[in-house]
Structure 1
């Protein structure tokens, strides 16, 4: 896209004593805030922010512990939970945006967005969820996974809790070849897995504290599920789901469309876990259309 808005401004925001990176583009219209998934960052919205910025004040944020935001040790002083990240989003709306915003989120970012909408409904105008995390590692999901995973998951999580083992495991993952292979599982379109994308995932993984954040989250089997939060939502919710997502099955995602807050669910054939990056030409018009209708109403 060759417009004056093609490159977002990259900024930092002090929150709870930590430095938070965010990106901003656009000067008019209702604000939108994009929230990334696990292991990603605000760079995962690089193909969406310019389009959103043409009609909205558009922001994307690095959650605490991810991207180029600070990565304090878990529970020193903040735990890496959806309540913590939800509070981060609400404070960002208050202190940086200065008015209620639409939240656009992918994967675990959807749970963050829903948590923020529940905790601070006056600051959230609506939520767009892209392939919302089903949280299959949650302790209340154990009945939904194969029996051998039911037995092995707690064992592996406990093993990773031993720092030398966990950090060695993370060091084996934080490599270009491994990241490219993982993206090859998540994405259905191989041409979407570019060197730029691999570097956007790898660079934050090599920063201090990244391993401990990763290990804290993979052992986090508590907290809310989407179905806990959706009944409490007062704002409209729209859902986009890549049908070929191997990590968050669309068959389970369809159940989320039954909650009263959900206005519509759009399935994208031939698209995987990160539709905003894999198929921005499909996602951007859908999102802008929904937000335009909501603003007109």
Structure 2
């Protein structure tokens, strides 16, 4: 947990399909400096997994609309109920977008955000201009298909197998470092729960939700970027554009030879950066 008398805390927010254990190499290190928490977003890890309700579906007591308002509010509520002090939010992949949305909700209670290979959400309707022309043609069919629960569940069950998880990890972790049985298991075990396919259905139907640049342009707190140089899914060129064009972005640290999850693939390179950012925030609070 770290120094209980510290003036601020750190909250780690995982990416899609991951959970609190994905911070296995980071949380113990950061906890030496400040109280450090990790959270399972609703639908993932050990959290509740309610049925997914799409935006145009009727409200139901047993269903939620998975999206960044829901997850951002969950993080803010956790900070209010548990953290109870100024917080630095650290998010990987979609956890980065969640962190940015939560920072808006928290206001002055959030003192900064660190984005680790933040999801750029290229399938969002607002990104259509950046997509190939053929995507415009197949998009209506794609949307109609993925909203079908039987199909989204089948896609999820096909992907939620140890062999598939390991093959995806080999793409995400190009150096191959730390792809071990423990990592595969921490990602696989939550998929065996009864409602695990619901958050997947909700997320793959998010065609109109927040994008990171939109959220950052409304923030005045510092945002620091940490990016795997070889990320196969979130191009580093976009991170460089953010660093040059968005005023709240304070720094960009590139992690050599790492991919989409450098905090787990190359913790020896990422942890010192996170420690420095935690320490810089503490110094600002003290002055």
TM over 0.5: yes
* Equivalent position to 1:163, from 144, 149, 157: 149
CA distance 1:154–1:243, shift in 2 (3 Å): farther
| Match status 1:110 vs 2:115 | no
Query: Which one of the candidate residues 176, 187, 192 is aligned to 1:206?
Result: 192
Q: Which runs of 5+ in 2 are unaligned?
A: 54-61
- The CA distance in 2 between the partners of 1:117 and 1:154, in whole Å, is 33
Q: Which residue of 1 aligns with 2:268?
A: 281
Aligned to 1:6: none
Q: 2:78 aligns with which of 75, 92, 95?
A: 92
Instruction: Give 1:120 shift.
Output: 2.0
Aligned equivalent of 2:277 = 290
Q: Distance in 1 between matches of 2:29 and 2:143?
A: 40
Deviation string, structure 1 residues 26-81 (Cα, Å, up to 9, x no partner): 24332100000011101110110000010110000000011110100124443111
Does residue 188 of structure 1 match 2:174? yes
Q: Judging changes above 3 Å, is the alpha-carbon distance between structure 1 residues 276 and 215 closer, same or farther for their aligned structure 2 residues? A: same
Indicate conservation of the 8 Å contact 1:90/1:123, yes or no.
no
Change (3 A) 1:199 1:149: farther
Judge conservation of contact 1:38–1:108 (CA < 8 Å) in 2: yes
Q: Any residues of structure 2 matched to 1:262-277 within 5 Å, and which?
A: 262-277=249-264
Partner of 1:26: 2
Bigger RCO (CA 8 Å, 6+ sep): 2
2:216 and 2:246 in contact (8 A); partners too: yes
Choose which of 80, 89, 111 in structure 2 pairs with 1:125: 111
Q: 1:87 to 1:214 in 2, by over 3 A?
A: same
Distance 1:150 1:189, change over 3 A: farther
| Equivalent residue runs for 1:43-54 within 5 Å | 43-54=21-32
Which residue of 2 is the match for residue 236 of structure 1?
222
8 Å Cα contact 1:143/1:150 also seen in 2: no
Structure 2 counterpart of 1:259, from 222, 227, 246: 246
Report the Cα offset of residue 90 of structure 1.
0.7
Counterpart residue number, 1:72: 50
Gap regions ≥5 residues in structure 1: 1-24
Structure 1 residue 268: deviation in Å? 1.3
Task: Name the SS for the 1:120 alignment partner.
Answer: helix
Q: What's the secondary structure of 2:29's corresponding residue?
A: helix
Is structure 2 residue 126 aligned with structure 1 residue 140?
A: yes
Aligned length: 273
In the TM superposition, what whole-angstrom CA distance separates every residue of 1:57-111 from its partner, at most 9, and x where no partner exists?
0000000011110100124443111011111111111101111211011011111
Counterpart check, 1:36 vs 2:14: yes
CA positional deviation for 1:226? 0.8
In the TM superposition, residue 122 of structure 1 has moved relative to its aligned partner by 2.1
After alignment, is 71-80 or 111-120 more displaced?
A: 71-80
1:62 maps to what in 2? 40
The whole-number CA distance in structure 2 between the counterparts of 1:200 and 1:143 is 37
Partners of 1:158 and 1:219 within 8 A in 2: no
SS of the residue aligned with 1:103? strand
